[in-house]
Amino acid sequence: MATQPPLLPAEDLAAFVRGRARPLPPLDDAAFAAAFDAFGEARLVLLGEATHGTREFYEARAAITRRLIDRHGFRIVAVEGDWPDVAELDRFIRNRGVWGQKDSFPNFPRWMWRNAEFVAFVHSLRAWNLERPMADRVELRGLDVYSLSQSRREVLDYLDRVDPQAAGEARRRYGCLTPYLDQPQRYGAAARMGAVDCKEAVVAQLVSLLRNRLDYSRQDGEDYLDAAQNARVVRSAEAYYRAMYRGSVESWNLRDSHMFDTLGHLLAGRGPRAKAVVWAHNSHLGDASATEMGAAGEFNLGQLCREAFDRDCVSIGFGADRGQVAAADDWGGPVRFKQVLPARDDSWERIFRQAGPSRSLTDWRADAALAQALGETRLERAIGVIYRPETERRSHYFDARLSAQFDAYVWFEETAAVTPLAGAPPEGAPDIYPFGL
């Protein structure tokens, strides 16, 4: 990253922030969401999170999103989840056709979306939608790329219904991937060794679906949209798993490019005035060029959105000092409730803790002096689905220039873990449907 002048003393910077940070009321106070009305004129509002397992981040994003929907015309909510999993929830919230017949988010990390806080948000979207005509209902969509097997199955199921002959051809094309569906990372290893290459086949299948869009969409435009996006996911997932063995930078960039492309398709589908809220980790939504990620050659969804939409895109980061988080020890491991260590002295989190308010919103879009002060390079913490406090500096901190990374920042001094859904519900229990537990 570029050389910068010496850091301001932390006490001076914290005092500067204290004078500009807006204290926020409790999350259940209507005034909390109202504080975000200033962002309602944007086309894209990107809502981050510093972890994948913090209750306050989910509840805050839910409150802000409902406000943007109700008062500012946002009709797309896009999340860092896989398209077919989120599609089942979209059917539920829009009361569209048969819904709830498939499990959603059955794989690791289940708690990231199968938690009580997100369920409450999903039900609130359904209640809002049921009072409105179908064309004005909010849609819930997934942006991620990990559903190779499930998306392949969704494409085949769709073609079985609308074009059995084309379904046979799709099975032939996708047959190249069949040996690797349970462990797609094995496909990447095989492709690296030159043993297999499914790129042309999956691209050909996507092209075939797109060429037939007029005929197919006449039968059911929503089902066609779903199938076409699943075919895009298969194409992107094939490239992603192939790139995994060429380096983390390439695979990261492919993943975030797919997210950006998916968001673009969603906006185009709702027309030129469409507005979307995006939920994803800070590492995806803050401009990567302002962090050490960018210095390493990585870009992300937030950077692509900012470049494409300029001031019509607002990126809001979230941070916390300490508390509890739901996370695993290792990939694929069980969820655990872990204590988050107080932030390091040389971090942005420590600045906001010293600034004073236990909950705050700091917006520097129209405050050049504040933006300059927050333009220094300091450490920022990122906890994903894995948290290793014993190696926290190496595992979870990276360099960032906060005001270049985000447009605003939401702060919680102390937080709690999300509430994972566990076990089977009583027969007929509606409170977690359609998560299919």
Percentage, residues of the chain above pLDDT 90: 87
What value does the mean pLDDT of the chain take? 93
- In which band, very low, low, confident or very high, does the pLDDT at 426 lie, cut at 50, 70 and 90? very low
Distance of CA 18 to the CA centre of its chain: 30
Over the stretch 342-399, which tens digit does the pLDDT of each residue have? Answer: 999 999 999 999 999 999 999 999 999 999 999 999 999 999 999 999 999 999 999 9
Counting beta carbons within 10 angstroms of the beta carbon of residue 249, is it exposed (0 to 12), middle (13 to 18) or buried (19 or more)?
A: middle
Token pair, residue 148, equals: 């190779």
Q: What pLDDT does 245 receive?
A: 82
Over the stretch 123-161, which tens digit does the pLDDT of each residue have? Answer: 999 999 999 999 999 999 999 999 999 999 999 999 999
* Per-residue pLDDT at 401 exceeds 90: yes
* Per-residue pLDDT at 297 exceeds 70: yes
More confident residue, 427 or 348: 348
Find the mean pLDDT for residues 303-315.
98
φ, ψ of residue 146 in degrees (nearest 5): -85, 0
Counting beta carbons within 10 angstroms of the beta carbon of residue 234, is it exposed (0 to 12), middle (13 to 18) or buried (19 or more)?
A: buried
* Per-residue pLDDT at 91 exceeds 80: yes
How far apart are alpha carbons 135 and 411 in whole angstroms?
Answer: 36
Please give the model's pTM, rounded to 2 decimal places: 0.94
Find the mean pLDDT for residues 327-341.
96
Token pair, residue 165, equals: 């002959």
User: Which CATH superfamily is 10-144+275-415 part of?
Assistant: EreA-like (biosynthetic domain) (3.40.1660.10)
Q: What is the DSSP string of 70-132?
A: HHH---EEEEEEEHHHHHHHHHHHHT-SS-S-S-SS-SSSGGGTSBHHHHHHHHHHHHHHTTS
369: left (phi over 0), alpha (psi -120 to 50) or beta: alpha
The per-residue b/e assignment along 24-48, b for 16 or more CB within 10 angstroms, e otherwise, is beeeeeeebbebbeebeebbbbbbb
- In which band, very low, low, confident or very high, does the pLDDT at 437 lie, cut at 50, 70 and 90? very low
How far apart are alpha carbons 219 and 3 in whole angstroms?
Answer: 59
In the block, tokens 């859904």 appear at 421
Helix axes 221-243, 248-270, angle to 10 degrees: 170
How far apart are alpha carbons 36 and 70 in whole angstroms?
Answer: 12
- In which band, very low, low, confident or very high, does the pLDDT at 427 lie, cut at 50, 70 and 90? very low
Q: What pLDDT does 424 receive?
A: 41
| Domain range annotation of the chain | 10-144+275-415, 149-247
